[in-house]
Structure formats: structure tokens, C-alpha cells
Structure 1
Amino acid sequence: MLIAVSAWSFHAELYGGRLHVSEVPFRSYELGFRAVELLDQFLWPAPPNRLARWLGRKARVFDPHAYDRQTLLRVKMNRVRSGTQLVAWGVESDLTAAGAARDEQRRYLAQAIAAARWLGAPLMRLTLGGEQADRAGYDRAVDLLSSVLPVAIASGVKLAIENHGGLSADPQVLIDLATHFGSPFLGVCVDVGNFAGDAAEGVRRLAPHALHVHAKAWAFDARCEETSIDYAACLAALRAAGYDGVISIEYEGDGEAAAGVRAARRLIERHWRA
């Protein structure tokens, strides 16, 4: 098992302009992590420096579906220099899209897979999108994945669809998708904090199809236990299914990110050894 830290753990600093996604690998290394997960939603170009602003240069317009090559290069170079491993490239997709939006999703995902391969990520995390119990949306997702999965296989990039609300709120939908394709390149990103019901039961159901895991954390008690998630039970379910891959920390609390991700790591390490 390898513990990583997701760029989402630093979302307050990223959205606040105090940190750029290309700096996340260095920040993670400073906190003792050697594995990172980066997200394309933070891929906006760095703002112009003071001299450039004085000369009238403005920041480039950010389009999350059109990757900026200079920014990607900066991300790659900093990741290499930091000495960290990129374990996943995260994208916000809608596999249930219809019409023109569907064609845009196909283009976007092909671009994202190419970027993941170039950046050195062996896996790309996806979101399913759609609404709960939307059978037509499920069928559209199957059709879209039928054209996207061969691209991922040819690129050597695995696809992990997260339980992330919408159509994926029902674990059975993700199980059905993984079973339908039966490919080692398509599976589930199990987010222990995204289940509407019993998290441990949700993890137990999805764990056999897990290619990646998100360990959410909001707050910790005096024993360094997450106050809203039974991590002992969730990690036991993963171990029982034979999972031994990456567990990527997503700290979402109000406190300092550094303290939050360190507490989450101690929590995971303690229960994984139990």
C-alpha cells in the first residue's frame, strides 16, 4: 500500500492563489509524501509576474477542457525535480453527456489521457456525472467508454471512475460498469467519504473493483480518529478484498492542510497495520 496526497488537500490555497498546482509536488515532498495525485481543474496558467503586469501582460484565459502546454510542462518539470511520483491524474468528466457535449467529452478525455501518459501518471480518475437512476445516462456512459477505453489501453493509462454523486451515488452502477467491460484498465476509484449510507459497506461492495482509493478527512478527535468515517472498518474492507494499491488523502477540513494530511496519514498507517 502506498499513501499519496491529492492536490485537493490544498484546495483553499490553490483557489486562493497562494499555491499553483505545479508547486503541489514540492509542497507534498516537504510534508513527507513521495506520491502525489494532481487534478486538471487547477491547471490554470500561473499569473504574470510583477514586471509582466507592469508591461501590460494579462493572465491567459483558463479553459479546463483545453490544456495549456506551458503549464503542463511546468507541472511535469516540477514533479520530476521534487522527487515525487505521480500516481494519478484527476479529471472532472461527464460520461453521461448527450449531443454536442458528448463529442466534447470524448475529445476532452482523449486529451486528458494523452496528458496523463506524458506526465507519467499510470491512472486517470474520472467522474461519471448524470443523475441518480438515469438508465439512459448509464447507457450513454457505456457507449462513451467503449470509444475512450481503447485509447486508454493503448496509452497504458488505467481509468478509475469515482463514486462521486449523481449516477455514481449507487455503488451498483459502478460495479455494473466495471463488470460490463471486464478490463484491468477500467475500475473504480473508491472514495470512502462519498457514500450516502454506511461507508464500510460501500467500500466492501466496491473494493473488488478498486484501482484507486480516496481517503477523505474533515476533522479528527483526540485519538486522531476521523470524526465522521469509520476508517478501521473501511480499511479492513479494502484489505479483505486484497487491495494493496494507492490510498490518496483528500483533506477537506477547515484547519491547516499540512496538519490535516499528516493526521490522515497517521490514521491510515495505524489502521492498515491493525
Structure 2
Amino acid sequence: MSIDRRRFLQQLSSATAGLAGVSLLGANALAAQPPKKLFFKISLAQWSLHKSLFKKEIDTLDFPRLAREVYQIDAVEYVNQFIKDKATDQQFLRQLLSRSQDHGVVNNMIMIDEESDLGDPDKKKRLKAVEVHRHWADAARFLGCSMIRVNAFGAGSRQEAKEAVVDGLGLLGEYCHQIGLQLVTENHGGLSSDAEWMADVLRQIDKPYVGSLPDFTNWCLRREGPGFWGGKCLEEYDPYRGMATLMPFAAGVSAKAFEFDARGNCLDIDYTKMLKIVKDAGYTGYIGIEYEGESLPEKEGILKTKALLQRVGASLS
């Protein structure tokens, strides 16, 4: 072999080794990169564990610890159905606050269901409903929550219900504002799932401290059975149009999930499309995980929903 050829091969070997080193360094550098910061924060809605809670396998005092230790989530949303008699129980509220503080968990909100209608057509009953909800507002304030979620339920014609809901929500909103809370209402069945109707309610109230909590699902306007939840849905508001309509008023967002495919995508809703609507609205607050599926255990369903939010959120960040 000639000296020139030997020198050429030596130089080629050195160059190849150098490129391999650069490639390895690049791969290591890529692996060491921190995950993308999401444009939103993640919280855990207590309803995701409703089966375990109703079966008394866990209770509300366990919730902050489970959120932190099992799901690595540092913000929670309580549901009053699991603490129905605790709105004015100071001993319980002190315990719950202590548990959340011990585990470094933010108490973000209380979701209020099965109370009197804030849109009751009877003025006296409507005022009574506002009074009942004030107790939950006080409890939320004690726990350090930033908001409460209520339902915009009423009766009568479309216009009559709107006028009553504007009055009830407005009165409760004033009280919440006085004690430093945001009041939000969710698309939760009936007229409240008609985004145009709900948006008009919020426009008429026209207060920054009264807003919406758009849920990815819950857009059924009419069902076969009685009430908002009984039977097959016969008429549904378009979920993506509904989200886009309510996001300008949003102080919170609920990420509902039921079933997943083999790749971890939600079968019920397009998370990429939904999160793009959320991002385009300029929203940067909490998105609450609300898993309600039947085929997976609660733990697995919650973790899959969290992973999906993180994956899609990172792709949009």
C-alpha cells in the first residue's frame, strides 16, 4: 500500500470516528432535552374516581394524596356530591386543607351539583338556590380554591330560562367576587349544552368573574329518557363549535375521556382538534382530567388521559 493511500485511509477513519462521536453526542443531547412545556396546566377532577368514591373504597380526604402520589398531578377539582354534608363542616374542611397542603396540592375548584336551580322561574326559589350555593362558595374560599363550578339549570321557555339564569348566576357571581372567587358554569345538559344560549347568558351578565368551564363532551341537548342523563342522546350540539363558542369566556376546561384506541387516542373526541381550539383562544389555565370510561380501571383511564393531554399538548406548544 502506498504512503498516500495509507494516509488517506487513516484520515477517513478519523473522520468517520469523529462523525460517529458527533452523532452519539447529538443523540445523547436530544435524549437529555427536557420535555416541552405545555401551554396549559393539568388538574385532576374528583369525578374521575367516582366509582371508588361511591363504593367507599376511598374518600375525599384521600384525594389530594392520590393526585400527587399516584398520578403526579398537583391540582385538584372537588365534586360536592362526595362531601354533601360538609359545606359548613369546619373540622372537615380544615382536615382537607391540611391534607392538600401536606402533599403540595392546589385546591382549584369545587364542582357543585344536585342543588337548587339557579335558573328557577320562581324568584323566591331562585334566591334560595343562590343562598345554598353561597355555602359552597364559602367552603371553596376556605380551601383556597380559585373558583366554583355551578349548573345553569332552569325551566320555562328558552327566553324565560335565560332571563332567570342570568339573574341567578349574576347574583351568585357578585357574592363570589366579593369573597375573591371566580364563578364558572359548564355545558351540562339541556339548554346549558347549547353553546349559543350559554354564551348569550354570559354576555348579558357581562362580568369578568362569571365565566364558562367548557367540557369536551356533555353537548347533548335532548335524550330519550327523562332528565339530562337518562337514555340515548337524540340531539347533540357540535362539540367543536361549542368549545369554540364558549372558550372566550373560559376560566377552566374539562378534558373528558371514555375509551381509547391502541395508540392511546380518545375514541370519543379529537384531542388535537379540541386542544387547538383551546390554545387558539389564548387559554393557559388548568385543564381538568375527567375520565368516565367503563372498559378501563379508573387509574389506567386517568393515566391514559393525562398521557394524551401531554402528548397532544406538546405537539401544539
Report the TM-score when normalising by structure 2. Answer: 0.76
CA distance in 2, matches of 1:231, 1:131: 33
Indicate yes or no: 2:65 matched with 1:41: no
Amino acid paired to 2:286:
V
1:97 to 110, 120, 132: 120
SS at structure 2 position matched to 1:5? strand
CA distance in 1, matches of 2:155, 2:213: 19
Give the aligned partner of residue 24 of structure 1. 63
Q: Please state how far the C-alpha of 1:73 moved relative to its aligned partner.
A: 2.3
CA offsets 1:1-52 (integer angstroms, 9 cap, x no match): 11011000000011001111121111111111111111111105xxxxxxxx
Amino acid paired to 2:158:
D
Q: Please state how far the C-alpha of 1:145 moved relative to its aligned partner.
A: 2.4
Structure 1 window deviating more from structure 2 (12-21 vs 123-132): it is 123-132
CA distance in 2, matches of 1:159, 1:8: 19
CA distance in 2, matches of 1:171, 1:197: 8
Give the aligned partner of residue 129 of structure 1. 153
Give the conservation status (yes or no) of the 8 Å contact 2:257–2:292: yes
Q: Please state how far the C-alpha of 1:273 moved relative to its aligned partner.
A: 2.2
**RMSD, matched Cα:** 1.7
Amino acid paired to 1:273:
A
1:175 to 182, 196, 199: 199
Q: Please state how far the C-alpha of 1:74 moved relative to its aligned partner.
A: 2.2
Amino acid paired to 1:256:
P
CA distance in 1, matches of 2:265, 2:250: 24
Give the aligned partner of residue 81 of structure 1. 102
Give the conservation status (yes or no) of the 8 Å contact 1:125–1:189: yes
Which structure 1 segments of 5+ residues have no match? 45-61
SS at structure 2 position matched to 1:190? coil
Indicate yes or no: 2:170 matched with 1:146: yes
SS at structure 2 position matched to 1:86? strand
Indicate yes or no: 2:243 matched with 1:203: yes
Q: Please state how far the C-alpha of 1:260 moved relative to its aligned partner.
A: 0.9
Give the aligned partner of residue 217 of structure 1. 257
Q: Please state how far the C-alpha of 1:123 moved relative to its aligned partner.
A: 1.1
Q: How does 1:153-192 map to 2 (within 5 A)?
A: 153-192=177-216
Which consecutive segments of 4 or more residues in structure 1 shift more than 6 A? none
Give the conservation status (yes or no) of the 8 Å contact 1:128–1:162: yes
CA distance in 1, matches of 2:64, 2:258: 22
> Whose Rg is larger?
2
Indicate yes or no: 2:288 matched with 1:248: yes
Give the conservation status (yes or no) of the 8 Å contact 1:43–1:71: no
Give the conservation status (yes or no) of the 8 Å contact 1:133–1:167: no
Q: Please state how far the C-alpha of 1:272 moved relative to its aligned partner.
A: 1.6
Shift in CA distance, 266/72, structure 1 to aligned 2, threshold 3 Å:
same
Give the aligned partner of residue 118 of structure 1. 142
SS at structure 2 position matched to 1:3? strand
SS at structure 1 position matched to 2:302? helix
Give the conservation status (yes or no) of the 8 Å contact 2:120–2:155: no
SS at structure 2 position matched to 1:95? coil
